[in-house]
Amino acid sequence: MTLIKITVKGEPDVPPFTRTFHYSSKTDEEIFANLTNMVKDKLDHNLRININETITAFSALVVSELKGGKSIEQIQKDASILLKPEQVMIGVPETLQQMSFEVTLDDNTKRLIVLDTPIRISDYILKSA
């Protein structure tokens, strides 16, 4: 069983939103794996991904690295280089300024991982906004 609760904060004038993914069976996990592969295929073909696909990519990274026993600090470091602004649609980096993942895996231990500015945008864009 895998339970992922993601809270996303972006621009100050937009309220945060939450997405929850619950995979209670092998079939659910296979569907998630197929969705993750679809996102990877789009990236491999130099297509930009949208907000939901971006959340899927970060969720897959967080879950796989937690299952692999990596530390929260290492997951945060790996997440910071997962996607570049030119791989996502316009507005995605600004919308996903902070992502909080509350993950419960098979051992029923909850882990909280917070990604601040997971998709780096230039300081010039931040200062001119």
At residue 41, the pLDDT reads 98
CATH number of the structural domain 2-128 = 3.30.280.10
What are the CA-CA distances from residue 103 to residues 12, 75, 86, 87 (Å)? 25, 13, 28, 26
Dist CA 11 CA 97 (whole Å)? 7
- Whole-model pTM above 0.75? yes
Q: What is the mean pLDDT of each run of 10 residues along the chain (129 residues)?
A: 94 92 92 96 97 97 95 96 95 94 91 95 55
Neighbours of 4 (CB within 10 A): 22
